[in-house]
């Protein structure tokens, strides 16, 4: 049920969010998407919309996948006798965990909307984390100079290969930095034939 705003809109927008509406994840505070949407309906009724949603998937050298997206959000509301229309832009990026997120495009879209609305005021999360000194990042990108566990696993599989067929099955998973190991093993197996 959507509550009607019974106070000055600017005062309402600049009210801090209720404590029960603020959640914490990875050390950072946020207002859940469902609350954001409810507040948009309180502010604008049906006079808000999204456009130009774009999302991309990036594969990092360590084989992790980043999902990144951006969106425009247009809101229309009245403040006194003023008819206000604003177009806000938001973006988000997160590391994809396929096991726990079957809908990454929808997730990045909702995160982008949550970021787009922040300039509307404190009610929508503006300055929510400004007083936090020790906010942990949502993810850390591994140092690219160190081999990943996956690279170590592939190297072991290459070295344990007993036939050219076994080795050939690994070919599509061998990263560029392990190609010399792969080629040496291929030469070794070829000489045994």
Q: What is the pLDDT of residue 87?
A: 96
Give 41-50 pLDDT, tens digit per residue.
999 999 999 9
Q: Indicate if 120 and 172 belong to the same structural domain.
A: no
pLDDT-based confidence at residue 3 (cuts at 50, 70, 90): low
> What ranges make up the beta strands (E) of the chain?
23-25, 28-30, 48-59, 65-79, 82-95
pLDDT at 137 over 60: no
Do residues 113 and 153 share a domain?
Answer: no
**109 to each of 47, 64, 71, 94, how far by Cα in Å?**
19, 20, 7, 11
What domain count does the chain have?
Answer: 2
Reported confidence tier of residue 134, pLDDT bands at 50, 70, 90: low
- Residue 166 counted as domain residue: yes
| Overall average pLDDT of the 113-132 stretch | 90
Q: Which domain holds residue 82?
A: 9-124
Residue 69 sits in the same domain as residue 103 = yes
Residues 81 and 167 in one domain: no
Decide if 93 contacts 66 (C-beta within 8 A): yes
| pLDDT, tens digit (0-9, with 9 covering 90-100), for 28-61 | 899 999 999 999 999 999 999 999 999 999 888 8
**Once rounded to an integer, what is the mean pLDDT over residues 178-188?**
83
Both 112 and 185 in one domain: the answer is no
| 107 shares its domain with 184 | no
> Residue length, the chain?
193
Residues 180 and 92 in one domain: no
**Residue 39 sits in the same domain as residue 99:** yes
Nearest to 115 by CA among 35, 33, 47, 45: 33
Nearest to 68 by CA among 103, 25, 107, 36: 107
The verdict on 170 and 83 lying in the same domain is no
Q: Are residues 88 and 163 in the same domain?
A: no
The model scores a pTM over 0.85: no
Whether pLDDT at 2 is above 50? yes
The percent of the chain in helix, strand and coil, each rounded to the nearest 5, is: 40, 25, 35
Residue 95 lies in a domain: yes
């Amino acid at each position: 049920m959507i509550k009607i705003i019974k106070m000055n809109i600017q005062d309402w927008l600049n009210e801090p969010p209720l404590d029960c509406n603020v959640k914490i994840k990875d050390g950072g505070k946020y207002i859940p998407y469902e609350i954001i949407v409810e507040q948009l309906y309180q502010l604008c009724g049906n006079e808000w919309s999204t456009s130009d949603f774009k999302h991309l998937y990036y594969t990092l050298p360590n084989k992790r996948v980043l999902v990144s997206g951006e969106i425009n959000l247009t809101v229309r509301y009245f403040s006194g006798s003023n008819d206000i229309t604003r177009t806000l832009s938001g973006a988000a990026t997160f590391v994809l965990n396929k096991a726990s997120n079957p809908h990454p495009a929808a997730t990045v879209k909702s995160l982008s909307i949550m970021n787009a609305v922040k300039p509307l005021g404190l009610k929508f999360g503006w300055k929510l984390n400004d007083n936090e000194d020790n906010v942990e990042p949502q993810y850390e990108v591994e140092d690219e100079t160190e081999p990943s566990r996956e690279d170590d696993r592939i190297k072991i599989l290459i070295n344990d290969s007993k036939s050219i067929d076994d080795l050939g099955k690994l070919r599509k998973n061998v990263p560029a930095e392990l190609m010399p190991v792969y080629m040496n093993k291929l030469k070794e197996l070829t000489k045994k034939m």
